[in-house]
Amino acid sequence: MIGERMKEARIALGYSAEQVAAFLQVSPATIYRYENGDISKLPSKFIKPLAEYLCVSPSYLMGWSDDNTPADPAAVHLNTPEARILAPGIDKLPKAEREQALNVIRAMFVKYADYFEKENDNET
């Protein structure tokens, strides 16, 4: 059941098994083995982060509930795996490193400002 729900949520979000594997720091083959039922026990250290990454509740992922409402509904607006990694991670950094990370991100936004402006123009 865990594997089925994992695959269902992954596909619904448009994530590849490789993206999920990179997030969990396991091989893509491990993800496929979970999804195919070859491995039935998900290590407890993966349950909460994987559920958050896949925008479902841990109890849904584990098959304890049919309610797939995410534990953190605010995280659903983070549309890419990268955003889901960066958003919670930035708050965990020590203040000095957080400032460094934000400066790098700001510099990237400045570098690609034209791209973001064109994208926003297309939305209006």
Residue 92 scores a pLDDT above 70:
yes
- The total number of residues written for the chain in this structure: 124
Give the pLDDT mean for 53-61: 88
Structural fold of domain 2-77: 434 Repressor (Amino-terminal Domain) (1.10.260)
Q: How confident is the model at residue 29 (pLDDT cuts 50, 70, 90)?
A: very high
Residue 124 scores a pLDDT above 50:
no
Give the pLDDT mean for 99-107: 85
Q: 3-state class of 67 per DSSP?
A: coil
Asked if 76 contacts 70 with a C-beta cutoff of 8 angstroms, the reply is yes
9 Cβ neighbours under 8 A, 6+ residues apart: 54, 55, 56, 61, 68
Asked if 6 contacts 51 with a C-beta cutoff of 8 angstroms, the reply is no
Instruction: Name the DSSP class of 64.
Output: S
Question: In this structure, what is the dihedral angle of CA atoms 42, 45, 47, 52, given to the nearest 10 degrees?
Answer: -140
Domain ranges of the chain: 2-77, 93-123
**Helix segments in 14-94, DSSP class H:** 17-24, 28-35, 44-53, 58-62, 81-92
